[in-house]
Amino acid sequence: MAYILMEPMYKTMTSGKVEKFLVNQGDKVKKGTPVAEITAEGYFTLCSEYNGIVKEFYIGENEYVETHTPILEIEEIEEED
């Protein structure tokens, strides 16, 4: 399993709010797929770093979470040609 974290979008970012998830449980994602819209002193789009299937969400929309905290789980799969 792999985890999408609330990554800091700028050097001093310590937390962010998940405004909206752009994927659903069971969706297939590739590296670079937008997975969530984040606000934290600006508006950002968080993208997947993995190829896989969305398995579980750890927080809900409109929730704040500290940086480096997992927000969703991906079951990694090998990229198809």
- Domains annotated for the chain, with CATH where assigned, are 2-76 (2.40.50.100)
Q: What DSSP element (H or E) covers 23?
A: none
The three-class DSSP label of residue 20 is: strand
The pLDDT of residue 9: 87
How far apart CA 49 and CA 63 sit, in angstroms, is: 22
How far apart CA 65 and CA 75 sit, in angstroms, is: 22
Q: pLDDT tens for residues 25-76? A: 999 999 999 999 999 988 999 999 999 999 999 999 999 999 999 999 999 9
pLDDT of residue 81 exceeding 60: no
How far apart CA 35 and CA 24 sit, in angstroms, is: 9
